[in-house]
Amino acid sequence: MVSKTSNSQAQVLCLGSSLVKATLGYDWISSINKTLPSNIRLINEGIDGCHVPGVTDALPDIAKRIPNPSAIILMAGGNDFTHSLLLQAKKEGRTDGVHPKTWDIFQNHRRGRPPPTLEQFLVDYKELLDRVVGVYPECKNVAVCGLKPVGEDRNGPLNVQIREYNSKLRDIVKENSSKLNISYLEFFEPIATEISDKALLDSEKNGAKIKKSNDILDIFNPSKMVSAKFANLFSFGFYSLDAAGKADGYFSTCDGSHYNESSGKIVVKIIKDHLETSLNK
């Protein structure tokens, strides 16, 4: 892999939520950076908890620090999806166990936009891509990352909805192909196939605990998110993110939401393969 210019560093700007920031999960950006030549560097501009509008609104300030990226990777939308499901559960009167401050936090991350229905998610994502074009008119190399699976059952109702979100994201990528060298990066199928499907088969054979989460309230657990990461850190890595997830029946995340080592390594491969091709064009 070589940079676009021989005398400067090719900066790959990574934008999104905590899946990018990696405060609570596997740090795929640092992992990739360790393997790259010195003239290519991934820049982590993830924002914990943010929705798609948060990325959009942060771009002007980010552009002051990173004015000329060679490529941009967008990994956002998971929190929008979670928020939409929690709002539905709230309408149904099922959110007594959700901390009251959760709603204010989520609303702040909406940045004044309407509630995150699927239709609004698409409006928000189109706004994000328009902002990318406006802030970085010279950067035509943009990758849109599809949403990862939720829980371990690819055919469960939550993942049926995830696949619908991803289908609409692919449509947005096609719509913007005339003004950007834009790519859609598929994460759902590789993670479901390499991790979740195999875990389900293993559980049938040996009775291993596995979380077939079909309700967002089974997954959205902020205290678990924090405890999984801190257990990993305070054990100096001996208690892996994989182990933290499996303790609660998760095989593709450390806490139901964030990458563990197994899914993180899949992300690393997908992103590296994309950069190998796109930065050499």
Contact, 121 vs 162, CB < 8 A? Answer: no
The answer to whether residue 1 scores a pLDDT higher than 60 is: no
User: What secondary structure does DSSP assign to 186-250, as a single string?
Assistant: --HHHHIIIIIHHHHHHHHHH--------SHHHH--HHHHHHHHHHHHHTTTSS-HHHHHHTTT-
| Mean predicted confidence (pLDDT) in 269-275 | 96
Euclidean distance between CA atoms 93 and 7, whole angstroms: 59
Spatial strand order of the sheet with 10-16 comes to: 40-46, 10-16, 71-75, 141-145, 181-185
Give the model's pLDDT for residue 271: 97
Amino acid sitting at position 96? D
Confidence of residue 3 (pLDDT cuts 50, 70, 90): very low
What does the domain layout of the chain look like in residue ranges? Answer: 10-188+261-278
Euclidean distance between CA atoms 212 and 94, whole angstroms: 19
The answer to whether residue 8 scores a pLDDT higher than 90 is: no
Amino acid sitting at position 122? L
Confidence of residue 178 (pLDDT cuts 50, 70, 90): confident
Express as a percent the part of the chain with pLDDT over 90: 72
Confidence of residue 281 (pLDDT cuts 50, 70, 90): low
The answer to whether residue 4 scores a pLDDT higher than 70 is: no
Give the model's pLDDT for residue 6: 42
Give the model's pLDDT for residue 7: 55
Give the model's pLDDT for residue 180: 83
Give the model's pLDDT for residue 188: 97
CATH 3.40.50.1110 fits 10-188+261-278, yes or no: yes
Q: Is the pTM of this model over 0.85?
A: yes
Question: Is 266 strand, coil or helix?
Answer: helix
